[in-house]
Amino acid sequence: MLVIAYPLALLLNLMFGRKFAFGYTIIRFGSQLDRLFWFSLTQKKDEDKLLMITTKGNKVYIGYVNKISEPLGEHYITIIPQYSGFRDKEKLNLAITTRYTDVIKHYVQIGKKEEIGKKLGIILPLSEILIVSKFDMEIFGRFNPNGNTDEIQQSKSKIICKNLSNLLNDLSK
């Protein structure tokens, strides 16, 4: 039995790979939060990948999941932010204070897109995350008419999102 088990395990690992096993484990045994991060990480459309994460300290990050932790062990995610800000303590309104898109665009233009995750990646322990939701710039603009959501800004964001998506695909290979 042992003689068959080892070669069979090697063959199955070659056929299905780490990504399949990781996805199966998360879908089968992961929490709703794990599934949301996994589906965001594996989506095909750029607009489906963007998440808004609010921490216990009212810090808000809008960005792409770059890495999620193994199902066993310390639980965290790494994101590449597009925007960050905070929620007002009383009204909980969102104020965007930092835009990372220009920095990301610069790194893509100078051919250093592999460094974006290293230089801008933010590691968030799951224990510090309070709220996670999908993020859509058009919907956000309808709730926040005073925000930077004019057509030019949206076009720039879409171009940068596309470049970032290509980067994330390159990094995950």
- Mean pLDDT value of segment 62-90: 85
* pLDDT value at 133 more than 80: yes
CB 82 within 8 A of CB 62: yes
Distance CA 85, CA 54 (A): 9
Distance CA 53, CA 127 (A): 12
Q: 63 pairs with which residues across the strands? A: 51, 81
What is the pLDDT at residue 152?
34
- Banded model confidence at residue 80, pLDDT cuts 50, 70, 90: very high
Distances in Å between the Cα of 28 and the Cα atoms of 43, 68, 78, 83, 153 are 18, 16, 22, 32, 39
* pLDDT value at 151 more than 90: no
* pTM of the predicted structure, to 2 decimals: 0.70
- Mean pLDDT value of segment 24-28: 76
Q: Where does residue 80 rank: exposed (0-12), middle (13-18), buried (19+ CB within 10 A)? A: buried
Distance CA 93, CA 163 (A): 30
